[in-house]
Amino acid sequence: MNQPVGTFCLVLHSHLPWLPHHGSWPVGEEWLYQAWAHSYLPVVELLQRFADDGHRDVLTLGVTPVLAAQLDDPYALRAFHDWLGLWRLRTEYAAGRWRGGDPLLSELAAAEYRAAARALAEFESRWRHGFSPVLRSLVDSRVIELLGGPATHPFQPLLRQPVREFALRTGLADTELRVGYRPEGIWAPECGFAPGMERDYAAAGVRRFLVDGPALRGDTHAARPVGGSDVVCFGRDLEVTYRVWSPKAGYPGNAAYRDFHTYDHPSGLKPARVTGKHVPPEHKKPYDPGLAAAAVRRHAKDFVDVVVARVRDLQERHGKPGLVVAAYDTELFGHWWYEGPAWLETVLRTLPEAGVRVTTLRGALAAGHLGTPVELPASSWGSGKDWRVWDGAQVSDLVDGGAAIQDELLALPATALRDPVLDQTVREALLALSSDWAFMVTKDSAADYARRRAKVHGERFAELAALVRAGDRDRARSRAAELRAEDGPFGHLDARGIPALRGSRLPCVS
């Protein structure tokens, strides 16, 4: 490739809240296993093909510590293996139901069977020891740049300083334990930022993070040092990002693509294509893979054209090659948008042919895409680009509850020795503080489940905290062990990492 007209960075954000042992259908473990089968497996396969072809710095992959913990969890691994086997059985049932009917449905059943069998084989050969060995191979081959984040994906601007620092350091340490690499970049949960957080990042060894484009007033053509620090932020280019997935439109809603919401309930498969925005499920047409493949080609070409036009415009405006950062949830590709992985691979292979450098955030800095310092405002990637999704009136009870949990946590008796009771108390607090619960309530997406999860973890925290304050060691140890069997991510978590809980005022009694 000659001198590139600009640089394109794709950032994928992989995240689900802690789900094992907390319900199954329609929200709960099923959510995890669907995303695992339909997004994480195919995206990893895609990246392995790029690695096998000798490509480096293809994309930036964020994996939240709480998701990584689930993809390594022995219980979740066993349950997912069962789920994959059931998926294959469901395809066999669908083949019998649809035999002799519409040939498109018969072909769909056969294609689903092949997909399920392939996923089973891939899981049993590459994933049987969890995600970490798979992820480490991608990191070691440098086909990706890995982003980390705070442990349970809390909305950081609403955290007390010691809790915020602890959540981030625990998350970074967890990633390092799993893959042997401490990320230099993070996906800040919900792209949430408060002025001064760059100092927290610098102290934790974080050198780069993501914000949404409006935090930079749309000027996302280069990475920018934040405040007086050496930490840089990259802004998501909404003009390009929304071409794929926007609040109102985007490629996945095309009539030819497989419809996410329409189920054949006896088999659990999705047999229809979108057909039309206002077409009821019973009138949607059967999925046609030929139509979908043609749409993938059209939309890949359109996206490449959009990126090329954008970087050329930036080059004209700034007098040097521009940078485009497009960022999406990994779960969009395959889970929400069935054809997403095929589109993604086509785009990543086509952009260099169009004269655009494809690289990671790390690679963009190496290519010189660094601008002048900026003072960032309070921001997020949520509605209004402020904090309203996570601290609005609709979730004021969750906000007040989260603040009370933090205050109570920081007032607990300190210990000089490692204390599994305090560790589990902190673990439940962090799970209660997950940003997902407020997001789901504000967006009315399984809001009852989200409120229940926040309540469950808050109550478990309060129960353990009361036992700690009362000095009831036997009951506290017994209850903490019971809870860890359900909520056991981050086995290395040490409550003494929170300064308020580190000391000799109340040594642990073994």
Q: What value does the mean pLDDT take over residues 27-31?
A: 95
| Through-space distance between the first and last CA atoms of the chain, rounded to whole angstroms | 65
Q: What value does the mean pLDDT take over residues 311-325?
A: 95
What is this structure's pTM?
A: 0.96
Report whether 351 contacts 304 (CB < 8 A). yes
d(CA 285, CA 303): 27
Calculate the alpha carbon distances from 44 to 60, 87, 124, 248, 477 in Å. 13, 20, 15, 29, 40
Tell me the pLDDT band of 58, cut-offs 50, 70 and 90: very high
**Residue 273: is its pLDDT beyond 60?**
yes
Q: What percent of the chain stands above pLDDT 70? A: 98
Q: What value does the mean pLDDT take over residues 246-258?
A: 89
**Residue 330: is its pLDDT beyond 80?**
yes
Q: What is the DSSP letter of 40?
A: I
Calculate the alpha carbon distances from 293 to 40, 129, 333, 362 in Å. 21, 34, 15, 33
Kindly report, residue by residue over 349-364, the tens digit of the pLDDT. 999 999 999 999 999 9
**Residue 312: is its pLDDT beyond 50?**
yes
190 carries an active-site annotation: yes
**Residue 377: is its pLDDT beyond 70?**
yes
Q: What value does the mean pLDDT take over residues 26-54?
A: 97
Q: Which residue has the tokens 């954008």?
A: 310
Q: Which of 45, 184, 219, 329 is catalytic?
A: 329
Q: What value does the mean pLDDT take over residues 331-345?
A: 97
329 carries an active-site annotation: yes
Q: What beta strand segments (E) does 37-159 contain?
A: 59-63, 144-148
Q: Which pLDDT value is given to residue 247?
A: 64
Q: Which of 190, 200, 237, 487 is catalytic?
A: 190
Tell me the pLDDT band of 462, cut-offs 50, 70 and 90: very high
Full set of structural domains in the chain with CATH: 6-366 (3.20.110.10), 392-501 (1.20.1430.10)
Report whether 122 contacts 45 (CB < 8 A). yes
Number of neighbours of residue 481 by Cβ within 10 angstroms: 12
d(CA 255, CA 309): 26
